[in-house]
Amino acid sequence: MKYILSYLILATCLFSFAQEKAPELPRFAIRGNVSIPKVVSSQSFRNSFSGVMAGDLNITCKLVSNFFVGVGYAYTYYKPQKAFRDQNVNTNMQSQNGYLKLGFDKFFSDNGFATFSLNAGYNYNEFKGVKYRSDTLIGKYPTKFSSAFVEPMIDLYFIVDPNFAIGGHISYNYNFGQFDPYYPGFKGWFDYTKVKNNWNMSMITLGFGFYYGLVRK
């Protein structure tokens, strides 16, 4: 958490030094990031899975000033918590989503800029390698579910080439759907009466991103 707070403070400080007359970015760009997701809620979801990796790729088009819109695809992989792995339960959760993106870029120096954006779309989740405590549960519950989501994020980029930049990434992903421990077959392997499940799923991701400009204005 201290690294997340430090990142947010750094982004705020850099934004306060934003240049009034900044360099021009290309109109079209490919952006992406690779990060590690940290489950925030619900308590039931947090006790069931831990994030392994998340990848995101999108293409954007600049509108007016430094505002842009885009479309993208993201993938996230989760592994079961140790309590399940110790019982040889290795069910994993894989999430794929498509989204629309809206944001803006702001230079804080000649060679660096911050990107503030919001992703909104639909998330498709699937549990693989499901192992049930009892054979009577096989086929009783779905192993797939979907939900809408929103994801605000901040990226800090440092230009290493006229059309290429790399930097840090942080985001908060909020799903409009709750985790159901019956779907991955976890009921019976863990006592869920001891944890709460009264919040929708959410996670924080922290990692590295890149920017590649395609066409200069």
Instruction: Report pLDDT digits (tens) over 20-52.
Output: 556 788 999 999 999 999 999 989 999 999 999
Q: Which of 3-12, 80-89, 190-199 has the lowest mean pLDDT?
A: 3-12
pTM of the model: 0.87
- Label residue 195 by pLDDT band (50, 70, 90): confident
For residue 60, being part of any structural domain is answered with yes
Contact by Cβ (8 Å): 127, 184: yes
At residue 20, the pLDDT reads: 54
Q: Report the number of distinct structural domains present in the chain.
A: 1
What is the sign of the dihedral through the CA atoms of 193, 93, 169 and 148? negative
- Label residue 136 by pLDDT band (50, 70, 90): confident
Contact by Cβ (8 Å): 132, 151: no
Among 7-11, 28-32, 61-65, which range has the highest average pLDDT? 28-32
User: 32: domain CATH number?
Assistant: 2.40.160.20
pLDDT tens for each residue of 115-131: 999 999 999 999 999 99
At residue 124, the pLDDT reads: 95
For residue 157, being part of any structural domain is answered with yes
Residue reference for tokens 């590690």 = 36
For residue 21, being part of any structural domain is answered with no
- 152 class by beta-carbon count within 10 Å (0-12 exposed, 13-18 middle, 19+ buried): middle
Q: Could you list the residue range(s) of the whole structural domain that residue 47 is in?
A: 2-14+27-215
- 163 class by beta-carbon count within 10 Å (0-12 exposed, 13-18 middle, 19+ buried): middle
- Label residue 216 by pLDDT band (50, 70, 90): low
For residue 177, being part of any structural domain is answered with yes
At residue 3, the pLDDT reads: 47
For residue 20, being part of any structural domain is answered with no
For residue 8, being part of any structural domain is answered with yes
Tally Cβ neighbours within 10 Å of residue 2.
6
